[in-house]
Structure 1
Amino acid sequence: MRILVIAAAVLALSAGSAQAQMGGGGKRQGNDAGKADNKPKVDEKAYKAALERIPEPKEKYDPWSGARPSEPAKKPK
């Protein structure tokens, strides 16, 4: 009898963890279409105009400038 109770408890615990991994059985009820409508629409013309307003850098950015010298030392011949 004791083995039967232990086996039932192990089975119930493993089934509960498997259900948690699979998403919970679909208890959510909502309108997914309503959420998709709330996203702002991208205006391609405005996006390209904003990209053109970004100024070009005068000199190239070097992320490793602090780790190495900007110009290697030249060896005399």
Structure 2
Amino acid sequence: MRALVLAIAALALLAAPATAQMGGGKRGGSDHAPAPEKPKIDEKAYKAALERVPTPKEKYDPWGGVAPAPAPTTAAKKK
């Protein structure tokens, strides 16, 4: 009898975290809640913001800091 009670208690302890992760059902809120309103996009403000972005002076190199640039080779090597 003692082994049966211990087995049931062990299963209950193992099942508790699993039910907590699964959500255990819906609490609060309903499935038919209205969708939140999206803010309207102002095209003039968007285009004005794009015009204010400065153009880069040199091309961006994402791998620039990984390895040093190879040394430029001068005239063809003579034997």
Q: TM-score, normalised by structure 2?
A: 0.62
Q: Look up the equivalent residue of 2:16 and give its one-letter code.
A: G
- Cα RMSD after superposing both structures: 2.8
> What is the aligned residue count?
72
Q: State how 1:42-57 maps to structure 2 within 5 Å.
A: 42-43=40-41, 45=43, 46-57=45-56
User: What is the CA distance between 1:6 and its match in structure 2?
Assistant: 0.9
Q: Alignment identity in percent?
A: 49
Q: TM-score, normalised by structure 1?
A: 0.63
Cα–Cα, structure 1 residues 21 and 62, in superposed 2: closer, same or farther, change >3 Å? same
Q: Look up the equivalent residue of 2:58 and give its one-letter code.
A: E
SS in 2 for 1:3: helix
Q: Deviations over 1:23-70 (max 9, x none)?
A: 13223x137537x24xx515151323312321211221334158414x
Q: State how 1:36-47 maps to structure 2 within 5 Å.
A: 36-37=36-37, 41-43=39-41, 45=43, 46-47=45-46
1:75 partnered with 2:74? yes
Q: Look up the equivalent residue of 2:49 and give its one-letter code.
A: A
Match of 1:30 in 2: 29
- Which structure ranks higher in relative contact order (CA pairs < 8 Å, sequence separation ≥ 6)? 1
User: What is the CA distance between 1:5 and its match in structure 2?
Assistant: 0.6
Per residue, is there more helix in 1 or in 2?
Answer: 1
